[in-house]
Amino acid sequence: EDNWSALMGAVAAAIYLTVLYRRKDALYGLVYCWAALAILQNNSDSKSIEITYSICIGMVGIASLVSFYVGHKNRASYETLA
């Protein structure tokens, strides 16, 4: 059961990363991080869940921050054109 949960967390992270890349919406990725942190807290006794969710939270979190930075940078350049 723990391995199944870890696999589903990784699949969800892949889906979130794909949607985050396409929509360029940093908050979308942070929703995954929030939910994954809750799952991680409730299942901290399982090593496979702890490792998988920690890695996935890191990947999605970094991608969200990059998306936010790039989106903010692009919006600032559009404002100078107006």
Q: Name residues whose C-beta falls within 8 Å of residue 80's C-beta, 6 or more positions apart in sequence.
A: none
pLDDT one-digit tens code per residue, 43-60? 888 899 999 999 999 999
Q: What is the pTM of this model?
A: 0.81
Q: Which amino acid is at 38?
A: A
Q: Give residue-wise pLDDT tens across range 6-44.
A: 999 999 999 999 999 888 888 889 999 999 999 999 988
